[in-house]
Amino acid sequence: MTATVQEIRIQLPHIDLAARVYGPENGQPVLALHGWLDNSMTFELLAPKLQGLRIVAIDMAGHGHSGHREPGAGYQLWDYALDALLAAQQLGWDKFSLLGHSLGGIVSVLLAAAVPERIERIALIDGLVPDTGEAEQSPQKLGEALKAQIKLSSKKKTVYKTMEQAVQARMAGFMPVSQLAAELLAQRGLSPVAGGYSWNSDSRLTLPSPLRLTQSHAQAFVRAVQCPMRLIAAEQGVLLKEADFLKFVSTYSLDVQRLPGGHHLHLDDEQGAQAVAEVVQDFFCIS
């Protein structure tokens, strides 16, 4: 399916974000947030199938064509939430909806819980709450994070001789994807460097979190969401394998739609993208 896509830049006070815009100007405003180490191309198969929505899919800070944070800054969940809220402000959106995959879904839940008066609907793809950690683990986790940050300066990014090698590496990464998905992400995620190509995401994105929310924190954010929320859970994704997720489903009666496919079911192939589109389209009441 072909569709006109507009490339824009959103200038925030502290960073510039790149974005791809899909749909008519008078469509329902939707801010789309991608997953960890992905970019806005994650919505390339899905967004054109959603009629009646004005989807602004941003490259989150440190990803894709967006800027990297200043030295000393980090990439915590609340930092992404602030970026999203400021981006909506720059777009002139008083109220808007969210479409989030994985990390983008987690940020969407936190943002909707924090400023419920601004968010109209949330559609989530295989992402709900972050990995949690209890207070007793915090000192050890902070120490690990601090040491990893110090070591990062001595590490060099992997350089691939060809784009094809980079695509193959992405296919076999922490979250495996299809060749089609890897190629789409590479279009926006690779940059030419001396000796070949390298992923242009900020190396700090791979650092462990210095502080995790507790289970009580995560539950509080889910409870605080006031708008309609629908979660698409991939049968071979990450959520359905987690006991904590199943507990959330039973405790909060979440609107969960299970679909076949992996964690990137909306990007791995056209069939998966169409299945996700039908669920999202129904949720947004698009005729």
Question: What is the Cα–Cα distance from 14 to 79, expressed in whole angstroms?
Answer: 11
> Does 110 have pLDDT greater than 50?
yes
Classified as helix, coil or strand, 120 is: strand
Answer yes or no: 209 catalytic: no
Mean pLDDT of 195-205: 96
pLDDT bucket at 1, cuts 50 / 70 / 90:
very low
Closest CA to 233 of 102, 87, 126: 126
In this structure, what CATH number is given to the domain that contains residue 41?
3.40.50.1820
Residue 147 lies in a domain: no
Q: Across residues 177-206, what is the average pLDDT?
A: 97
Residue type, 213: L
Q: What percent of the chain has pLDDT over 70?
A: 98
pTM of whole model > 0.85?
yes
Residue 182 lies in a domain: no
The answer to whether position 126 is within a domain reads yes
Residue 152 maps to a domain? no
Q: Which domain holds residue 235?
A: 6-133+213-283
Q: What number is the average pLDDT over the span 130-155? A: 93
Distance CA 178, CA 225 (A): 33
Given a cut of 90, whether residue 151 has pLDDT beyond it is yes
pLDDT tens digits, residue range 39-72?
Answer: 999 999 999 999 999 999 999 999 999 999 999 8
User: Is residue 72 one of the residues assigned to a domain?
Assistant: yes
73 in any annotated domain: yes
Element (H, E) at 164: helix 163-171
Three-state DSSP state, 170? helix
Radius of gyration of the chain (CA): 18
Does the pLDDT at position 278 exceed 80? Answer: yes
pLDDT tens-place string over residues 77-90: 999 999 999 999 99
pLDDT one-digit tens code per residue, 127-136 = 999 989 999 9
- Note whether residue 198 is domain-resident: no
- Overall average pLDDT of the 10-23 stretch: 97
What is the percentage of the chain residues whose pLDDT exceeds 90? 89
Contact 63, 189 (CB under 8 A): yes
Instruction: Report in angstroms the alpha-carbon separations of 53 from 88, 98, 222.
Output: 15, 11, 25
256 three-class SS: strand
Structure tokens at 188: 């926006």
Residue appearing with tokens 């936190």: 110
Provide the number of structural domains found in the chain: 1
pLDDT-derived band of residue 155, with 50, 70 and 90 as boundaries? confident
In order of 25, 64, 128, 245, the CA distances from 202 in angstroms are 32, 9, 24, 29
Catalytic one among 40, 66, 97, 102? Answer: 102
Return the pLDDT at 241. Answer: 87
Confidence band, pLDDT 50/70/90 cuts, at residue 4: confident
Decide if 271 is inside a domain: yes
Tell me the per-residue pLDDT of 232-249, one tens digit each, with 9 for 90 and over: 999 999 999 887 787 777
Order of strands across the sheet that contains 16-22: 6-11, 16-22, 53-58, 28-33, 96-101, 119-125, 229-236, 255-262
Q: Is 281 helix (H, G, I), strand (E, B) or coil?
A: helix
Determine the pLDDT at residue 3: 60
pLDDT given at position 130: 92
User: Bridge-partner residues for 33, per DSSP?
Assistant: 58, 100
Pairing of strands 96-101, 53-58: unpaired
What pLDDT score does 90 carry? 97
* Burial (CB count within 10 angstroms: exposed 0-12, middle 13-18, buried 19+), residue 210: middle
3-class SS of residue 99: strand
